[in-house]
Amino acid sequence: MFKSSITILFICFTAPFLFAQHINIDKKTLSFLTTQEKVYVVFVQDSLLMIDDRLEIEFIQKMREKISNRNPTEDARNWISAYKKNKNETWPEVFVAQLNEKLEENKTAPRFEIDNTDAVYTMKVTPTWMYFGYDAGIIDRPAKVTLQIYFYETNNPSDVIFTTEISRAMAKYNKQDGDGEGAGPSLNRMRKAYAMAGYKFAKALKRVGN
């Protein structure tokens, strides 16, 4: 009876995590990837982004007030500036780098490039939800990110060939410098979530052509 209760509890605890990690892939629809050397990657950041279950604009305002209440106002400005740089540059670069690194061993996989507008096909990535996690010493929670993925011909962006979602990709637990709390939520924790999203997506794309 006790073992059964433990088993049920384990399944209930892990099922949402396993479900969130599944990435839907249509091997037939995405078969065009096996004939391409390069795919252009564009991150679109103007969607309705939710952060810690708040709209991004509300989250930024909350961070501005929270940091300013405990630290100099300049610290709030610096964190917000660093957040925007990470969102628009660092995290997309980490996602693509991890995606390519994991796909290197797959001979039929293309290389994904942020700056290659000459590629026949484009992959659009739209972040829709982020959770920064926290590090409270004894208890910590990793960051998570959800990304919507769209494939289309570069010259015909209105005709989406395939779309899927990387749902709540969870970073590795907080073990590195920069994972703890500073003047604001750790940007490094979110970087690791984007890296995990790239890793998970690469594993899913490996099914294409197999």
What global pTM score does this model have?
A: 0.87
Positions in the chain whose pLDDT score sits under 50:
1-20
Helix (H) or strand (E) holding 103: helix 91-103
In the prediction, which pLDDT does 178 show?
57
In the prediction, which pLDDT does 45 show?
86
**Cβ-contact 87, 95 below 8 angstroms:** no
**Cβ-contact 194, 157 below 8 angstroms:** no
DSSP states of 8-30 as a string? HHHHHHHHHHHHHH-----TTGG
**Cβ-contact 30, 106 below 8 angstroms:** no
Return d(Cα 184, Cα 117) in angstroms, integer: 35
In the prediction, which pLDDT does 47 show?
67
In the prediction, which pLDDT does 141 show?
87
